[in-house]
Homo-oligomer: A and B are copies of this chain.
Amino acid sequence: MPRVLDTAARDAAVIQAAWHVIAREGITALTVRRVAAQAGLAPSSLRYTFPTQAAVREKAITAVSQRLSQRIAALPADLTAQAWARAALLELLPLDQQRSLEMEVFLALGMAALTDDSLQPLWQQADTVVRDVCTKAITAAGGEPTAVQVDRLHALIDGLAFHLLVRDRTRGHDWAQHVVDRELRSLAARRL
């Protein structure tokens, strides 16, 4: 067998390129040619592993799911329940450049999934990861994971993520952590 391609590494590189294109130029600029250029490949070469434009979109969102659950799983095992809840929720917020990238792709493709049926199930997979973390965080923080509680925390987390991206490109992120801390405290007090 001749020349072998590390398909995993290639996929990762292309997905990273797609993420960067979305972050820098927006979802409308997610074209085969631009992604290829960002990845340093000829468009025709990109097509060898990503046969269509849809494949780029789909693998881009699938990668978000994976990265997300991967980062949650990588949290230190020796945390108290309270500390785990806090750390896990903060992993869902765009508090550094890497997470900003993920969240921007997550939200941009979430909006795109509204009008792209092939994207919807893949995006909902990522959405489920977030929701599961919210559920576990409620329990860990000492609350009861009722439907209303989960709906509430989940909405709050995604809303915070959105606002961190949209309103605080440069400013600090302390306010979002304050909101999360306040939420955790009220969960622990079981007052909500």
A residues at B contact (CB < 8 Å):
23-29, 104, 107-108, 110-116, 123-124, 127, 147-148, 151-152, 154-160, 162-163, 165-167, 175-176, 178-179, 182-183, 186, 191-192
Chain B hits for A157, CB < 8 A = 159
Tell me if B26 and A165 are in contact (CB < 8 A): no
Chain B hits for A116, CB < 8 A = 26
Tell me if A176 and B151 are in contact (CB < 8 A): yes
Known: A148-B182, A175-B151, A182-B148. A25 touches B115 (CB 8 A): yes
Number of copies of this kind of chain in the complex? 2
A163 touches which of B113, B158, B167 (Cβ 8 Å): B158
Tell me if A27 and B111 are in contact (CB < 8 A): yes
Tell me if A182 and B192 are in contact (CB < 8 A): yes
Tell me if B159 and A162 are in contact (CB < 8 A): yes
Most buried by B among A25, A114, A154: A114
Known: A115-B25, A166-B114. A156 touches B154 (CB 8 A): no
Chain B hits for A115, CB < 8 A = 23-26, 29
Tell me if A179 and B155 are in contact (CB < 8 A): yes
Q: In the complex, what's the smallest C-beta–C-beta distance from A119 to chain B, in angstroms?
A: 10
Q: How far is the CA of A158 from the CA of B165 in the complex (A)?
A: 13
**A169 nearest CB neighbor, chain B only:** B114
Q: In the complex, what's the smallest C-beta–C-beta distance from A181 to chain B, in angstroms?
A: 9
Tell me if A111 and B108 are in contact (CB < 8 A): yes
Q: In the complex, what's the smallest C-beta–C-beta distance from A148 to chain B, in angstroms?
A: 5
A175 touches which of B27, B147, B165 (Cβ 8 Å): B147
Q: In the complex, what's the smallest C-beta–C-beta distance from A30 to chain B, in angstroms?
A: 8
Known: A27-B28, A156-B155, A159-B157. A186 touches B192 (CB 8 A): yes
Chain B hits for A110, CB < 8 A = 162, 166
